[in-house]
Amino acid sequence: MNYLIIDDEPLAHRVIEKFAQELSGLQKIGNAYDAFEGFELLNIAKVELIFLDINMPKLKGLDFLRTLANPPIVIITSAYREYALEGFELNVCDYLLKPFSFERFLTGVNKALSLQKVENTTVESSKPIANNSPTDEKIFIKGDRKYHQIALADIYYLESYGSYVKIYLADQMILTHETTTHFEKILPKSSFLRVHKSYIVAIPKIETVEGNRLKIKEKLIPIGNFYKKEVQQLIKG
């Protein structure tokens, strides 16, 4: 995802650049220190995401945003919380209140990636139908002291492990300090199903369902009583 920083504070640029370097899916296009430099860069480069400050000289960030006919995805980065409502009325993706942590930054980026996926799907839906392919939506997951960008199509199932969650992929397992409830909220329900208080499974990866268990990659996963109805509906189509 190509991004542009528009902020009059050099330190803000350094913070965003440092955070973005931890994420392999982000590529910086340029740095603008006022809205007019931002205009110039937008005219010469493909920008998919803008980190936009509000309180800038010459032209305020939200006023700059209003001038764009087809703006990229925008994440506001500001020290002023009072503009949040106005920002969301302009359809910004997220509003990061300075100073923000890496975890908060990551949440915003994941929202941007999800929004990009929705926009791409909308564009593709207007084209002639081609052969179906697995979703290319990706999310960032923290595990093993680093951040992994993984495709949702590569996930087989998730298993609760105390205060952690194990994410099983085709050839590896990532241990992350999150909860199954967190992933239940962010994973698309069209592709993932919670079948037990400790398990979320990728629907396309289910091999068999028998009694109170289902099978994925030789793993027999229990189906909790509370989730039986959802599994039965899935089987019936």
The domain locations on the chain are: 2-123, 140-236
Cα–Cα distance for residue pair 38/62, rounded to 1 Å: 13
3-state secondary structure 159-184: EEECCEEEEEECCCEEEECCCHHHHH
More confident call, 199 vs 111: 199
pLDDT at 119: 62
pLDDT at 120: 61
pLDDT at 136: 60
The total of other beta-carbon atoms located within 10 Å of residue 52's CB is 26
Q: Give the strand pairing for 49-52 and 27-32.
A: unpaired
Over 80: is that where the pLDDT of 124 sits? Answer: no
Asked whether this chain's domains 2-123 and 140-236 adopt the same fold, the reply is: no
| Right CATH for 2-123 from 3.90.1150.10, 3.40.640.10, 3.40.50.2300, 1.10.760.10 | 3.40.50.2300
Question: For residue 72, what pLDDT band results from cuts at 50, 70 and 90?
Answer: very high
pLDDT at 121: 55
pLDDT at 122: 46
Measured in whole angstroms, how far is the alpha carbon of residue 104 from the centre of its chain?
Answer: 12
pLDDT at 163: 84
Q: How many residues does the chain have?
A: 237
User: Percent of the chain scored above 90 by pLDDT?
Assistant: 58
170-185 per-position pLDDT tens digit: 889 999 988 888 898 8
Question: For residue 130, what pLDDT band results from cuts at 50, 70 and 90?
Answer: very low
31-60 per-position pLDDT tens digit: 999 999 999 999 898 999 999 999 998 899
Q: Do 123 and 109 contact (CB within 8 A), yes or no?
A: no
Cα–Cα distance for residue pair 25/204, rounded to 1 Å: 25
CATH architecture assignment, domain 140-236: Beta Barrel (2.40)
pLDDT at 139: 85
Tokens encoding 219: 């793993």
Whole-model pTM: value is: 0.57
Residue with tokens 């999310």: 139
